[in-house]
A = this chain, B = another copy of it.
Amino acid sequence: MNVEAQAIEAKKASKKLMVLSTEEKNEALIHLADFLEKEYETILTANEKDLENGREKGFSEAFMDRLSLSKERVEDFAKGLREVAKLDDPTGSILSDWTLENGLQVEKVTVPLGVIGMIYEARPNVTVDATGLALKSGNAIILKGGSSAINSNQAIVDVMHKGLAETKIPSEAVQFIASTDRAATNQLFTMKEHVDVLIPRGGGKLIQAVVENATVPVLETGVGNCHIYVDKDANVEKAINILVNAKTDRPAVCNAAETLVVHKDWLERNSEALVDALQKNNISVHGDEHVMTVIPGAVLAGEEDWANEYLSTDIAVKSVDDITEAIAHIETYGTKHSEAIVTEDKKASRTFLNLVDAAALYHNASTRFTDGSALGFGAEIGISTQKLHARGPMGLPALTTIKFLMKGDGQIR
């Protein structure tokens, strides 16, 4: 089936899904969870094919680990679906209501977006997570996963389709693009009639390709070139703990720190403690010329280092004369994701939080908290780095829109 036909099917299914009750959707999600657990062997068999292909292609160990499934991982998928079933239904809420002088009643209510196009890379867990969030919020979903996980994703979708057949949610509400042809994805980018939003999740190149080529509205997610700014008056212990945590806790995620911006006075006073911490944690420094004279073993940073999302234990280090220079650096190279200041100076922290333009601003805490589950949102569909519709971690409400419902008795203007 071609992608347009799939999108039309998804749109039709979304109309049926839209009118289901919360209970009917929750029952379907729980049934899906049970079904995935029951059919886990089918999924693991397909996953074995992807792993074999990956080994042939010489993929990295980290990549193979993300690709690899097990009975436990499938059980985690099911657990995720059961958690989503427990969350509040984001649709059908009356956000406000009022009556005009002429008696016309106005209600502003939340409704599903319709059809979500999800474009993502390797991890097969996105196939289940995104489906759960879409269905719970009353949306159909079109899944386009990475080619390296295609057998796993196809098997997961097959199992979900079989499971949905026994529920009130039409199977057609979950569409999987099996083609690895780039043209298939590109078709998805411009089907404004059938697709209401595209959500790309993955590396910067994938996201750029979607933003540049799509006429369907895009919810841009997650490239994070996050900075820790250590101010003149930063507490040494806090600064070092936050830096090490933000850099090394999970270097490959988007809320990890990529650049340390440091006040020269602080650096001069605390270089020993800093160098010690960097060495202990195997952090490789790319520094400016001043930093080179203070941190042994640093390599000279070029323009590309300031913009780089290393996703490793490398870090760029920029020394500054004051907070104004720090903010200017962050504005130039940041991706408006998460930015932190470490300082005991309240005025400095206020300036930073007010002036820096990003989804999440931190005073004396690690950037690692920009995460739906850490903030208590339940599951997240991604972290938005754009300003419209949703910014920061996106939970279920990001998958809804509103309608004005007007009830009258013949009112005219």
Contacts and interface: CB of A to CB of B under 8 A. Distances in A.
Interface of A: 15, 18-19, 98, 100, 104, 106, 113-114, 196-197, 211-212, 215, 217, 219, 235, 237-238, 241-242, 245-246, 249, 349, 353-355, 357-366, 368-370, 374-376, 386-389, 391-392, 401-413
B364 A412 contact: no
A403 B408 CA distance: 38
Given A357-B114, A386-B217, A389-B389, A364 B410 contact: yes
A364 B242 contact: no
Given A98-B376, A357-B114, A363-B408, A392 B388 contact: no
Contact of A403 (B238, B242, B376, B391): B391
A362 B408 contact: yes
A402 B104 CA distance: 32
Given A241-B410, A359-B404, A375-B404, 16 more contacts: A15-B355, A18-B355, A100-B369, A197-B387, A217-B388, A235-B410, A237-B410, A245-B412, A353-B405, A363-B407, A365-B412, A368-B412, A369-B406, A391-B401, A391-B402, A391-B404
Contacts of A376: 98, 100
B104 A411 contact: no
A412 B197 contact: no
A407 B358 contact: no
B388 A219 contact: yes
Given A197-B388, A369-B406, A375 B15 contact: no
Nearest to A103: B365
B106 A412 contact: no
A360 to B, nearest CB: 4
Main DSSP-derived SS at the A contact region: mixed
A404 B353 CA distance: 9
Given A104-B365, A407-B364, A355 B19 contact: yes
Contact of A242 (B106, B238, B359, B412): B412
Q: Which 5 A-B pairs have the closest CB atoms?
A: A365-B408, A245-B412, A387-B401, A238-B410, A388-B389
Given A217-B387, A387-B114, A406-B363, A412 B249 contact: yes
A113 B360 CA distance: 15
A254 to B, nearest CB: 14
A375 B100 contact: yes
B387 A196 contact: yes
A388 B387 contact: no
A217 B198 CA distance: 13
A215 B217 contact: no
Nearest to A98: B376
11 contacts: A18-B354, A18-B355, A100-B374, A113-B388, A114-B357, A217-B387, A241-B410, A364-B408, A365-B406, A368-B412, A369-B413
Nearest to A402: B391
A290 to B, nearest CB: 27
A410 to B, nearest CB: 4
Nearest to A190: B212
Given A358-B403, A361-B403, A410 B217 contact: no
Given A364-B410, A388-B389, A211 B215 contact: yes
A362 B412 contact: no
A342 to B, nearest CB: 8
A3 to B, nearest CB: 20
Contacts of A401: 387-388, 391
B410 A242 contact: yes
Given A19-B355, A98-B376, A404 B241 contact: no
A100 B413 CA distance: 50
A355 B16 CA distance: 9
Contact of A406 (B197, B360, B391): B360
